Structures are given as structure tokens and as C-alpha cells.
């Protein structure tokens, strides 16, 4: 602040203290934000001391339209349009723009302005400005970091997907060359399992990390994909899902993988040879905060060989309990006239 400016300011402050009470303009000078006032013609009639300290200019230089000299050239038209709309409609407005500080640096300000009325007459606007440069820089750095993270995740997902596809092709090729029917069946089963898991992961990747997913829609898509991939005619899929049951991706993913396993197991083991039948998928809320997923079939039920972790057995039934633990779900499998798997888990 120049000596002349300081003297003028002190003189102004001195005339504004009467009987121990500060006048409104004096209070404005002590305000920790930059304040201004403009008349109906949009000409500045007042700026407080915080404004003068920021610009390093005199009060006379800032009044009228002189203050516009320090607005960044790229922001002048946008700011002028906001002012014209605000004054024409006499409504509050908010915008950000750059103003040159006393040291020559361009700083981002957030400006909020409101119309003034006295005795029902429009008398202009009053506004405040806050320096938000550091906040904008922090937000920009965060956006840049998030963009880099998304790029890395997309690249990782692309590579994992390619590797999974290559693994599926390799397992299929080995299955076609295997001389043992049991080994061939095991290899084809592994290829199917990898492909279906990749489809689930691909859908989940397209959902924001912190987003909630409609579990019913996802499990229905998963079950239909599994049935299509296995390609057994005569097997029907019945779906009854309660809408609006939302789960985070981290919990929905293992549940979808469980549906993959159970549908494939049902088609392969519950309906041998040319048997036909139905696989039923249901999802509901049996109680507040509790979700229940059921995958059932009307096939031949679990045989002893299917309970063993072997080429002839049912590997999926050994994977499902592990996936259930990942989903924080309880699991019950019943085998009587068909097979029924019931999972219960906490939900919002």
C-alpha cells in the first residue's frame, strides 16, 4: 500500500467512527473478504480495504469502471455477460474469474453478487470475492490424478481381458487335443469358467468404483450369458428378481460369479445327456437389510461324484463357498428333487 493510499484510507476510517460505533463501510473494510458495490449503471461506487490490498491500487483507480483493467482478458466477456444478465433481471449471480494481484499474478476469484433495493427501488448490486486459486489448483491436480488412474485401470483391464481370452483359447485347443474324455471335459469346463468370469468382470469394470449396482439386473444378465455360453437346448431359465436391490461392485461381483458357477453346474450335471428342465433364479428381500439369492434346478440332484473336486466332479461347488465368503454371504445347498443353493447377505 502506498503512503498516499494509506493516508486516504485512514482518513476515510476516521470519519466513519462515531460515538464508539463503526459505520457499515468501516465494518466492510475490516471484513476478511473483498467487497464491492455498484450503482444501477453498473459503475463501482465502493470497494473495501481488502479489495485495495489485493490489487495494490488506489480507491480512485478502482471506482467507476477502472477496476476492469485488472480482469484477465480471457474472462472479461464472460464476466460482462454475467453482469448484464444480473443487472437486467435483478437476480443474484455467481461466477469465477481471474483478477491481477498487486504482485502481477493472476488469481482466481469466486464472486457472489446480490441486487440492492431501497424503498422498493433498485439501487444496484453488492458483491463479495474470495480467492480460490489454491482450491482450483488442488481440484485440477485431483482430476489429473484420477484421469491417470482411470487410464492405468483401463490399460490393466484391457491386458487382463486379452490374457483371459488367450487362456480360454489355449484351454479350448488343449481340450480338442486331449485323448482322455475326462481331461477334455475338464479343460473345456475351465475354458468356459474363464470366459464367463471375464464377461462378469468386463461388465463390472464399466461401473464406477464407488457406485451401487442393481443386483437383480446384473444377476439376470449373468445367468442368461452362462446359459447361452453352455449352449444346451431344452434348458429354460426362469427369473424372478426384486428391483431396486443395490449393492457395491465389490460385493456384487462375487455374487455374479456364484450365479455363473451354479447355472453352469446345473446345466452340465443336473440335466445329463438330452434331459430337459428349468433353472430358476430368484432374488428378494426376506427382511429389511437382508438379501436372499436362490439358484435352483429341477434336475437329478447332486450325485456323489459331483461332490468331489475331480474332473468327474463339480469344481464349481468348491469355488462357490469361497466366493460366498468374499460376498459376506451365508450359503446353504440342498439336494433332493433337484439342487437348490440359497445365499443370504446384508444389503442396504
Q: Residue-wise pLDDT tens for the chain (348 aa)? A: 443 444 344 334 333 333 334 455 677 777 888 999 999 999 999 999 999 999 999 999 999 989 999 999 999 999 999 989 999 999 999 999 999 999 999 999 999 999 998 888 999 999 999 999 999 999 888 888 777 766 665 666 556 656 666 666 766 767 677 777 777 776 677 667 666 777 676 666 666 666 788 899 889 988 888 888 777 788 899 999 998 899 888 888 889 889 988 988 888 778 877 788 899 999 999 999 999 999 999 888 766 544 444 444 455 567 889 889 989 999 998 877 788 999 999 987
Contact predicate 196/226, CB 8 Å: yes
Topology (CATH) of 3-131: Beta-Lactamase (3.30.450)
User: Which of these CATH numbers, 3.30.70.520, 3.30.565.10, 3.40.1710.10, 3.40.1390.10, describes 211-348?
Assistant: 3.30.565.10
28 phi and psi angles, rounded to 5 deg: -65, -35
Alpha-carbon distance of 80 to 86, in angstroms, equals 10
Please choose, from the candidates 301, 182, 320, 310, the residue with its C-alpha nearest in 3D space to the C-alpha of residue 261: 320
Alpha-carbon distance of 257 to 252, in angstroms, equals 9
Strands (E) across the chain are located at 17-18, 21-22, 34-38, 44-47, 93-100, 106-118, 121-131, 212-214, 235-241, 246-248, 277-287, 290-297, 329-336, 338-346
Place of cell 443487472: 87
Amino acid at each position: 500500500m502506498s503512503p498516499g493510499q494509506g493516508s486516504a484510507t485512514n482518513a476515510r476510517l476516521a470519519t466513519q467512527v462515531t460515538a464508539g460505533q463503526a459505520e457499515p463501510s468501516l465494518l466492510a473494510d475490516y471484513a476478511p473478504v473483498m467487497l464491492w458495490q455498484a450503482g444501477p449503471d453498473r459503475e463501482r461506487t465502493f470497494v473495501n480495504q481488502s479489495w485495495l490490498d489485493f490489487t495494490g491500487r488506489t480507491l480512485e483507480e478502482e471506482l467507476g469502471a477502472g477496476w476492469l483493467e485488472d480482469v484477465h482478458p480471457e474472462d472479461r466477456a464472460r464476466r460482462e455477460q454475467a453482469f448484464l444478465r444480473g443487472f437486467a433481471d435483478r437476480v443474484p449471480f455467481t461466477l469465477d474469474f481471474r483478477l491481477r494481484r498487486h504482485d502481477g499474478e493472476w488469481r482466481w476469484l469466486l464472486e457472489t453478487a446480490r441486487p440492492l433495493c431501497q424503498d422498493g427501488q433498485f439501487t444496484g448490486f453488492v458483491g463479495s470475492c474470495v480467492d480460490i486459486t489454491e482450491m482450483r489448483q488442488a481440484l485440477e491436480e485431483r482430476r489429473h490424478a484420477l484421469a491417470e488412474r482411470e487410464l492405468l485401470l483401463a490399460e490393466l483391464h484391457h491386458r487382463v481381458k486379452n490374457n483371459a481370452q488367450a487362456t480360454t483359447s489355449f484351454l479350448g485347443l488343449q481340450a480338442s487335443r486331449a485323448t482322455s474324455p475326462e481331461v477334455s471335459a475338464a479343460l473345456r469346463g475351465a475354458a468356459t469358467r474363464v470366459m464367463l468370469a471375464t464377461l462378469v468382470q468386463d461388465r463390472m469394470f464399466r461401473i464406477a468404483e464407488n457406485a451401487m449396482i442393481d443386483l437383480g439386473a446384473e444377476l439376470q444378465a449373468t445367468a442368461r450369458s452362462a446359459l447361452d455360453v453352455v449352449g444346451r437346448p431344452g434348458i429354460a431359465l426362469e427369473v424372478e428378481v426384486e428391483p431396486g436391490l443395490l449393492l457395491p461392485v465389490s460385493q456384487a461381483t462375487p455374487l455374479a460369479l456364484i450365479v455363473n458357477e451354479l447355472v453352469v453346474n446345473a446345466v452340465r450335471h443336473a440335466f445329463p445327456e438330452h434331459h430337459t428342465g428349468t433353472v430358476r433364479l430368484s432374488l428378494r428381500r426376506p427382511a429389511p437389510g437382508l438379501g436372499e439369492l436362490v439358484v435352483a434346478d429341477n434336475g437329478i440332484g447332486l450325485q456323489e461324484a459331483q461332490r468331489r473336486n475331480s474332473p468327474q466332479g463339480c469344481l464349481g461347488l468348491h469355488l462357490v463357498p469361497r466366493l460366498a465368503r468374499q460376498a459376506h454371504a451365508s450359503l446353504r445347498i440342498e439336494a433332493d428333487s433337484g439342487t437348490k443353493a440359497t445365499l443370504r447377505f446384508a444389503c442396504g
